[in-house]
Structure 1
Amino acid sequence: MEDVILVNDQWYFSATSPRADARTQVLKQGDTFAVFDRRGEMGKSGLGEQGLYHLGMRHLDQWEILLNGRRPMLLNSTIKEDNSLLVVECTTPDIHDGNEVTLPKGTLHVFRSITVQDSILYEHLRLTNYSRNPLELVIEYSYGADFHDMFEVRGAHRARRGEALPPEIEGKRVTLGYRGLDDVVRRTIIEFDGEVLQLTDRIAKVRVRLKPGQEQTLHATIGCLSGNAQFCVVSYAEAVEGTKTRLRRREQQRARIVTSNEQFNHWIDRSLADLQMLTTETVYGSYPYAGVPWFSTPFGRDGIITALQTLWLDPELSRGALSFLAATQATEKDPKSDAEPGKILHEMREGEMSALGEVPFRRYYGTVDATPLFVVLAGRYFRRTDDLAFIRDIWPNIKQAVNWMNTYGDADGDGFVEYQRCNDRGLVQQGWKDSDDSIFHSDGSPAEGPIALCEVQGYVYEAKLLAAELAEALDERDWAAELRQQAAVLKEYFNEKFWVRSINTFAIALDGRKRPCAVRSSNTGHLLYNGIVDAQHAGAVAETLMSEQSFNGWGIRTIAEGEARYNPMSYHNGSVWPHDTGIAAAGLARYGDQSRALQLVSGLFEASQYLDNARLPELFCGFPRLEGHSPTLYPVACSPQAWAAGAVFMLLQACLGMTFSPTKPQICFDHPRLPETLQWVRISNLRMKQGMVNMTLRRHPRDVGLNIDEKEGDIDIVLIA
């Protein structure tokens, strides 16, 4: 990340800009993740986020190495393409004994390989002596465990904390512990091998003797334990092999994509690897955690949108998300957590502060859009898979979600779903733009609730249509007809009340007095995505979205330039979010505007080429694109972020016009287009219930052709040119 911003040829530095290189490396597996500097260490550089985390608690805030008292010199630092390993290569500066150089720089190779598996960090350290003299080295590890809750790391101040437990030192192992105010004991267990000379609660010294040309390997393991949990430490090699096995299994389940453009392939592969890393196996199935470091936990909205983005190539992720959210659906009214019967989870946290209620996020339901999006995902999942047995299992949850939309969601009975927080500790704004200042009127004054967001009405509209399809499949035809009638009324009423002629698009919201917030926003792209926009307004919505004030050359600004609160450096009032742009592209394609959709595909692809590892972050600043300049990064954006990684797959589906009909069964490509950077796209292992297909789509001067390379089972492939 960089928090240095170029504005009108002037450079601005954040007051919290670190002086050292703040770029980070990330590893994650399950509920455990680690944030390192580029040396593979955790210390004081960066923005304070470095550390080893488990279940919302930082178990290690320092991990540094000295060789004979000197810090190694960095040669190279890379994360393996599949995100399974961090590899760091170093050497040493000149090391002296008095005035004599005992180890010239560049003669000792230091190779570190780190992985995370089952709440344990494994480090493999290999030293190779390329000098002509024997060496005796002392490796000094420095470590510390502050046991800070994630919200403390983010800056929250607590009146009281739990107690640090006395360190336990036995053999080559040291255990650091903390008893929280929630009476849960959390431990960090650090173990070394080799000739350990000294071991305390802060340092370990290990002696290494190397002949000329000799290499020696040391290992360290750092385990995170919470409560009565147990873990089994395996060897470093077994941990690496376990990761490989898990990755291979997931790869076999999903479709594979290769294009004619190696840079585009790199973007795809990086996105797949990031999604794999962020996905956690729960008792209900796979669930994509939102992002590292701040949001490595289940979020309802983020998980659903990530599942929608990837549904066409990996339906198992959608099934896992639906199962998890059905199991955690609210069953009673609880103002402290903004819960109401039928409502879908916003956020779930495992840390000490959440357990104690110091923050309201243990199970927090302060979101207005996750509930209709849950129904949308269920309906689209059925279209993709024909998995009626699973839909029948979660049918009570779907019906409860629809009931929430019609009751608690529309408390005043005006036909629109609104929100207003139930307590003063919850989120003020409860759509995806949840900054306090994100919903406002054209003069910049804040909108007073209850607030009806425009995109939420689009979600509700499609949710009711898809719920009607599911109801018919389950022989509840009367309810299906009722839902279709509700959707038709909502569409007509929405287009009447939300349209603002003066800005030639829809209002971002209606406030509590039903006054439109006449602000041009990216939210209208979601309306196209869900199909609630009347045909007479679709062209104007697209024109406004793609205007110079909204489209900055990389993606669509959350708020258009010129609006009262526009700020390209803000979180939600002028920045660009890849997932948001991807949804807009899918919406444009839905209304037949593939040309503009392709502009957005190209914009985000070109942005990815300027970024480390072609990894799109959660968001970046909304400054206009300048020739030869990269996107301006947002200083504390999560990277990787699940729905940023998923954007490329929604973009591909949009430009290919790909839809599924499970009952035929059929895969349809409706007027597919490819950006100029791609000559062809090959999709293999694309599975439906009835079989599998491998195919290639190739761009021609006037259209896109389709070739079936291999097919198993009775699946129709339709191309509408």
Structure 2
Amino acid sequence: MTDDLGNDDLGGDASGGNASGAKPRSGGEPSREAAGGPAADPTQTTPFYIPATESAARPRHTLKHADTFAVIDGFGDIGASAGGPDGLFDHDTRYLSRFEMLLAGTQPLLLGSGVRDDNLTFTVDLTNPDIYRDGHIVMAKDTVHVVRTTYLWGGSAHQRIHVSNHGADPLDFTLSFVFGCDFSDLFEARGMRREKRGTMTEAVAGDSVAYTYTGLDAMERRAVLRFEPAPDRLVHGAATFDVSLAAGASRTITFAAECSGVAQARQVGFRQGLMAANRQEKVLTRGVVTVQSSNEIFNEVMCRSTADAYMLVTDTPQGLYPYAGIPWYSTTFGRDGIITAIQMLWMDPKVAKGVLARLAHFQAKGFDPAADAEPGKILHEMRGGEMASLNEIPFGLYYGSIDSTPLFIVLAGLYLERTGDLATIRDLWPAIELGFAWMDGPGDRDGDGFLEYARADEKGLQNQGWKDSHDAVFHSDGRLAEGPIALVEVQGYAYAARHHGAGMAAALGDGAGAAALKAQAEAMRDKFDAAFWCDEIDMYAIALDGEKRPCRVRTSNAAHVLWTGIARPERAARIAAEVVKPKFLSGWGVRTVAVGEPRYNPMSYHNGSIWPHDNSLIVWGLARYGLMAEAERIFEALFAASNYFDSRRLPELFCGFRRRAGAAPTLYPVACAPQAWAAATPFLLLQACLGLEFDPATRAIRFRNPRLPPFADEITLRDLGFEDAKVDVTLRQVGDHAALRVLRNTGAVQVSMLLD
């Protein structure tokens, strides 16, 4: 592993705030929805900014099940220390805002804590400090051991508190819990202020407290907190247990917080719920391809990525859907779900099937300017909280995405190529045709053959590509581009959508439709090159503005077009040469904006940071053009970064400071972790490296020009193949080539290696 010590223009120290948990350098940066300008109050320039006001006093950990997620600190508490978006949330509402445990009236000492490898439980080990009374120690430190185990199931959080006396004498002490519920909308929890709120009542019983909130949307939401056994004293906001333990004795208390509202919680015991959650997790991942390599750290990365991806996968009424991320995006996002499904497609096609079904179900049927909806358009995001219900935010069902629609069609085509499931494509075809109608109609505002966006309502997103910060699209002099804006990568997506549409139409027997779509795609290719290519930067422009002037800025967007196939080979080679130069490749990954460009800032959300999913799409595109040396450098850089992240978890993004010998990557303070397309990044990186191809009609799997990543000389894939035909294979690096060996073949799968 080598360090890329490229020259940043920054000149400052890049060590403040790193992956080991030191204080982040940056203040509040923008949300997924929008971003604040560098010279203005971002809360004024956009209503959906996520402020970062202080560092977390304790590390935070996340759990998720279905539509419920929790952010818990390292002690197992909620809301006991500053700086974190703590809480138990369900359908964008916080049902538990505080739950803190005190031992003998004091904060216990932390021994250790961690999430289980499969993300099912979070366990904390605590002990007592020295407890004084009248100036004398009455309980010496390290006498009491407390184990707090938390998991989510059935719209509830469950916690078991197991207390043991390891001293030689009997002990009498109190165990107290301080709790609270505020029913904040998720957007309130992340910083937005509301002029009015609903009303809340509280009812205390022998073993439980019930909070009922009647929102301004007239919906009743209810949180029930239950203790087993009943506390010795239960009053407003506090429960107290009098604990008496003989030497060597122990006692167990369980707690459940039930969320009722949009989803109805199911009251179950601690053990019953844990067993059910464990069973469901095993069913969800049954048959999924597993990866094992000669590099133990890479094995840990793949294990963490798989656990994170499937924690975010949610069983919706339409099928499995990967929610975008925790804490701010634990819901359906169109673009995120599609890209995550693409990244996971080779190892688990059922995720793609669920994504396609859900997005087709919510496809826009008419015009709604407040929601940026137009017939045929695919969803950007959906929200289920009070503020969305009241239209205080526009994201109840929101369609402000220029790329979700072509990406939806691309995913459908890739799904057919991977599975041969023509029945599903036939069911989806009306939605696909509506998507093409949108691309040829409202999506192409001026009829020039390119897809452009401009928000229909001032509450909507100003930028509607994946870089949706308000300052993410700009000219070479730093001026923000004015719309309607045609993004470079979106034209590639449209090109790929038409090619995949042609393939699907042909499979459905529509030869004329297939020919028309293919011709439309090819006619676009030369026009795209003429409009977007910029010799002076050796790249495509990030966008065309409303006057069709190219924004001649070096950005990662230009490299996205490679995986779509729209780029000429000579253009691809020049882009590849650019993205591995030090101004782009920090040593940890490719920056979103190159050093030296206007608005470059390694601490910004979209203008100089490093996004793992962005890098995975770039590597996939480089591999398509056979540019494997450059692809491997980026793969190695991301792998090197993952060595430093907590639990080997790739975050949503991290800062773009250059890699320095002996120093970790610099964290971005409000990044989601886990996030779906970051978690799934290693899957696509590995697919690109191995050149994996599938032919379901002949049950054939091909490894085209496979290259093992530079940090592993052997990789084994198990359960690779099709629904009823699986193989286990090992690839080993032998000199400059990969050798292939089939370990198991359960369905006469044809496995081959092709060298072009």
TM-score by length of 1: 0.97
Residues 1:214 and 2:249 aligned together: yes
Counterpart for residue 26 of structure 1: 62
Counterpart for residue 604 of structure 2: 570
Residues 1:404 and 2:409 aligned together: no
Counterpart for residue 34 of structure 2: none
- Contact 1:667 1:716 (C-alpha < 8 Å) held by counterparts: yes
In 2: Cα distance, 1:713 partner to 1:67 partner: 59
Which residue identity lines up with residue 217 of structure 1 in the other structure?
T
- Contact 1:257 1:684 (C-alpha < 8 Å) held by counterparts: yes
Question: Within 5 Å, which residues of 2 pair with 1:316-395?
Answer: 316-395=350-429
Counterpart for residue 46 of structure 2: none
Q: 1:126 to 1:178 in 2, by over 3 A?
A: same
Q: 1:8 aligns with which of 13, 33, 43?
A: 13
Which residue identity lines up with residue 481 of structure 1 in the other structure?
A
Residues 1:280 and 2:314 aligned together: yes
In 1: Cα distance, 2:313 partner to 2:505 partner: 31
Counterpart for residue 225 of structure 1: 260
Question: Within 5 Å, which residues of 2 pair with 1:497-576?
Answer: 497-576=531-610
Question: Within 5 Å, which residues of 2 pair with 1:353-502?
Answer: 353-502=387-536
Which residue identity lines up with residue 456 of structure 1 in the other structure?
V
Helix, strand or coil for the counterpart of 1:146?
coil
In 2: Cα distance, 1:54 partner to 1:20 partner: 23
In 1: Cα distance, 2:704 partner to 2:444 partner: 36
In 2: Cα distance, 1:666 partner to 1:409 partner: 38
Question: Within 5 Å, which residues of 2 pair with 1:95-114?
Answer: 95-114=131-150
In 2: Cα distance, 1:125 partner to 1:45 partner: 20
Helix, strand or coil for the counterpart of 1:196?
coil
Counterpart for residue 194 of structure 2: 158
Which residue identity lines up with residue 8 of structure 1 in the other structure?
D
Helix, strand or coil for the counterpart of 2:555?
coil
Q: Structure 1: state its 5+ residue gaps.
A: none
- Contact 2:60 2:84 (C-alpha < 8 Å) held by counterparts: no
- Contact 1:302 1:643 (C-alpha < 8 Å) held by counterparts: yes
Please report how far the alpha carbon of residue 520 of structure 1 lies from its aligned counterpart in structure 2 after TM superposition.
0.5
Q: 2:117 aligns with which of 70, 73, 81?
A: 81
Residues 1:204 and 2:209 aligned together: no
In 1: Cα distance, 2:76 partner to 2:14 partner: 34
Helix, strand or coil for the counterpart of 2:483?
coil
Please report how far the alpha carbon of residue 231 of structure 1 lies from its aligned counterpart in structure 2 after TM superposition.
2.9
Which residue identity lines up with residue 212 of structure 2 in the other structure?
G
Q: 1:122 aligns with which of 129, 139, 158?
A: 158
- Contact 2:26 2:668 (C-alpha < 8 Å) held by counterparts: no
Q: 1:10 to 1:303 in 2, by over 3 A?
A: closer
Which residue identity lines up with residue 278 of structure 1 in the other structure?
L
Counterpart for residue 40 of structure 1: 76
Counterpart for residue 90 of structure 1: 126
- Contact 1:420 1:449 (C-alpha < 8 Å) held by counterparts: yes
In 1: Cα distance, 2:15 partner to 2:115 partner: 33
Counterpart for residue 242 of structure 1: 276
Please report how far the alpha carbon of residue 595 of structure 1 lies from its aligned counterpart in structure 2 after TM superposition.
1.2
Helix, strand or coil for the counterpart of 2:547?
coil
Cα deviations by residue, 1:244-289 (Å, 9 ceiling, x for unpaired): 1111112213111111111100000000000111111101111000
In 1: Cα distance, 2:607 partner to 2:175 partner: 49
Q: 1:221 to 1:689 in 2, by over 3 A?
A: closer
Q: 1:520 to 1:302 in 2, by over 3 A?
A: same
Question: Within 5 Å, which residues of 2 pair with 1:126-145?
Answer: 126-145=162-181
Cα deviations by residue, 1:360-400 (Å, 9 ceiling, x for unpaired): 00000000000000000000000000000111111101111
Counterpart for residue 344 of structure 2: 310
Please report how far the alpha carbon of residue 170 of structure 1 lies from its aligned counterpart in structure 2 after TM superposition.
1.8
Which residue identity lines up with residue 145 of structure 2 in the other structure?
H
Please report how far the alpha carbon of residue 496 of structure 1 lies from its aligned counterpart in structure 2 after TM superposition.
1.1
In 2: Cα distance, 1:602 partner to 1:443 partner: 33
Please report how far the alpha carbon of residue 95 of structure 1 lies from its aligned counterpart in structure 2 after TM superposition.
1.2
Helix, strand or coil for the counterpart of 1:603?
helix
Task: Calculate the aligned-residue CA RMSD, in Å.
Answer: 1.4
Helix, strand or coil for the counterpart of 2:286?
helix
Decide which moves more: 612-621 or 253-262: 253-262
Q: Structure 2: state its 5+ residue gaps.
A: 1-9, 17-23, 28-51
Decide which moves more: 676-685 or 510-519: 676-685
Q: 1:573 to 1:87 in 2, by over 3 A?
A: same
In 2: Cα distance, 1:197 partner to 1:455 partner: 62
Cα deviations by residue, 1:218-263 (Å, 9 ceiling, x for unpaired): 1111101115x53321111111111211111122131111111111
Helix, strand or coil for the counterpart of 1:70?
coil
Helix, strand or coil for the counterpart of 1:114?
strand
Helix, strand or coil for the counterpart of 1:466?
helix
- Contact 1:176 1:201 (C-alpha < 8 Å) held by counterparts: no
Cα deviations by residue, 1:634-693 (Å, 9 ceiling, x for unpaired): 000001100000000000000001111222332111110012211111111113145111
Greater RCO, CA 8 A, separation 6+:
2
Which residue identity lines up with residue 436 of structure 1 in the other structure?
H
Which residue identity lines up with residue 13 of structure 2 in the other structure?
N
In 2: Cα distance, 1:477 partner to 1:9 partner: 57
- Identical pairs, percent: 44
Which residue identity lines up with residue 179 of structure 1 in the other structure?
T
In 2: Cα distance, 1:68 partner to 1:672 partner: 61
Please report how far the alpha carbon of residue 194 of structure 1 lies from its aligned counterpart in structure 2 after TM superposition.
2.8
- Contact 1:690 1:714 (C-alpha < 8 Å) held by counterparts: no
Please report how far the alpha carbon of residue 45 of structure 1 lies from its aligned counterpart in structure 2 after TM superposition.
2.8
- Contact 2:475 2:481 (C-alpha < 8 Å) held by counterparts: yes
Residues 1:603 and 2:637 aligned together: yes
In 1: Cα distance, 2:453 partner to 2:223 partner: 42
Which residue identity lines up with residue 494 of structure 1 in the other structure?
F
